Amino acid sequence: MYTHRVNYYETDKMGIVHHSNYIRFMEEARVQFFKDINFDYFELEKQGIFSPVVALNNCKYRKPTHFGDDILIDIKIKQYNGIRLVVQYKMFTNDTLVFEGESEHCFISQDGKLIKLDENNFGALHNKLTELVEK
């Protein structure tokens, strides 16, 4: 599970982590998740495949977090069909759910064209994501 330690610069004048930063923590955890299953974003982008965020949904701020807190981030692949990927996040501090949300992604080439992944096109990544979808 990925851990983000809250930085001073991520707090705001309410004394808590600014809500926009959780969207960045989602990305940090997603990058690490892909690395853990042997797909490095940096390498994927060098191979010409990008996976931009096309939607954020059901992002719920359950509890505030503070400077120095460790936020543990749990990730699940919720949906995947070769064209569209939905990733689900749950964040915990001291065993308390502090945030949950979902990001939706497509796949594009360097010049912005949509890519459909299948067994013959980025097959290893396709098979892994298919396998990881929550039953």
Q: What are phi and psi of 117, to 5 degrees?
A: -80, 140
Do the Cβ atoms of 33 and 129 come closer than 8 Å? Answer: no
Q: Cα 17 to the chain's mean position, in Å?
A: 18
114 binds its own copies (CB under 8 A): no
48 binds its own copies (CB under 8 A): no
Q: Map the footprint of its own copies across residues 7-46, applying CB under 8 A.
A: 7-9, 11-16, 18-21, 23-24, 27-28, 31, 40-42, 45
Q: Give the whole-angstrom CA distance, residue 28 versus residue 51.
A: 14
The contact mask relative to its own copies for 80-99 (x = CB under 8 A, - = no) is --------------------
Q: Give the whole-angstrom CA distance, residue 81 versus residue 87.
A: 12
Residues contributing to the site for its own copies (CB under 8 A): 7-9, 11-16, 18-21, 23-24, 27-28, 31, 40-42, 45, 50, 52-61, 64, 66-68, 101, 112
Residues that are catalytic? 12
